[in-house]
Amino acid sequence: MSNTQFIETNETVIVTSGSAYIDIDVLACSLALSCLHRLCGRESVACHTGKMNGTIPEYVKVEVNDLFENELPSSGRFKYALVDISNPEYFESFVDHEKIIEIYDHHFGFEKYWKDKLGKFVHIKHVGSCATLIWEKYVKLEKVHQLPESIAKLLYLAIVSNTLNLKAFVTTDRDIEAKIGIEKLGFFKSELITEYYSHIEHQLLNDFKNVLLNDVKTHDWKGEDCFIGQLEMLDSEELIETYFLTGTATKYIQEKYATNEQLWFVVISDINKGYNLIFTEDRKTKRLIERNFSFTFDGNFAKSDRLWMRKEFIRDMS
């Protein structure tokens, strides 16, 4: 059946994202969208070269390992679909920008650029999770009952993770509706969420250095690179005592990034408490944050007024 929801193509649709790392949103969106293309009769495969980061539990990493390619297939003719990203600078390097047929994203900054290029095939909406947009596509095409259980679970966890369990300011009605819609498929219970976070926190405490350093974004702040880490959990107390108050986190960041006077901070989200702790030991970064966001540092920590996502910090850094 042909439809006007997708650009028609006989070529294989490669679903991909940024090259830096794969987080739970990228993973869910890319597996779900490639599956949707196949359900609609097109050849499609998810393809990522980056490592799966700390937002994906170990047992999921094992489960999904064979469900996507680690490099572009060696032969074939391809079109590209991008998920959870719209800044062309960070796309996987194998993406031919002239052969992009659709983009799904919820980050800020490139809405007009892509609208002008792709028109109705660009879906950049400021919802909490990109997974919400992919779920909505399943609903629109009436394919929700063909969505495999394992992928439904990933979409669900991506929505939870990207909206800090619907507590983040970026959460929209569309995210809430998507979450309820997936629950209605009846595959799983709400314990999935506490299970997910207990895996994530366990991983974080056991492999702190890698989890921290594998999820750092770079953003220009007043002409300088600023490195921004993010850690999200139900309860941050143990982590803060073990790794932040001891100076361990600072040591890891400085080993990897610091030249003198480097701008850097880490956004620690405590979902149960409903706020973030913003951590840095760099004096200039503290001053910039205090001026820009009106949070006040007490030692190396500033407490936010509500739960902020890193992408909101990035949006508002000026």
Judged by the rule CB under 5 A, the positions of this chain that interact with Mn ion are: 25, 84, 130, 162
Tokens of 140: 């629109």
- Residues 63 and 81 sit within 8 Å (Cβ to Cβ): no
Nearer to Mn ion, 25 or 92 (CB): 25
Nearer to Mn ion, 44 or 162 (CB): 162
Cβ proximity to Mn ion: between 30 and 285 the closer is 30
Give the residue closest to Mn ion by C-beta.
25
* Torsion 13-59-56-208 (CA) sign: negative
Query: Is the CB of 30 or the CB of 162 nearer to Mn ion?
Result: 162
Q: Closest distance between Mn ion and the C-beta of residue 294, in Å? A: 26
Residue 164 backbone class (left: φ over 0; alpha: ψ -120 to 50; beta: rest): left
On whether the CB atoms of residues 283 and 176 are closer than 8 A, the answer is: no
Q: How far is the CB of 57 from Mn ion (least distance, A)?
A: 17
CA distance 51 to 28: 14
**Cβ-based nearer residue to Mn ion, 72 or 134:** 134
Provide, rounded to whole angstroms, the least separation between the CB of residue 41 and Mn ion: 28
Q: Tell me the C-alpha distance between 65 and 74, whole Å.
A: 19
What minimum distance in Å lies between the beta carbon of 35 and Mn ion? 18
Q: Take residue 119 and report the two structure tokens written for it.
A: 């028109």
Nearest to 213 by CA among 48, 16, 21: 21
Separation of CA 183 from chain center: 21
Minimum distance, C-beta of residue 4 to Mn ion, in the bound complex (Å) = 27
Instruction: Give me the sheet containing 301-303, strands edge to edge.
Output: 216-221, 224-233, 263-270, 275-279, 301-303, 297-298
What is the closest distance, in whole angstroms, from the C-beta atom of residue 25 to Mn ion in the complex?
A: 3
Q: Which is nearer to Mn ion, 115 or 125 (CB)?
A: 125
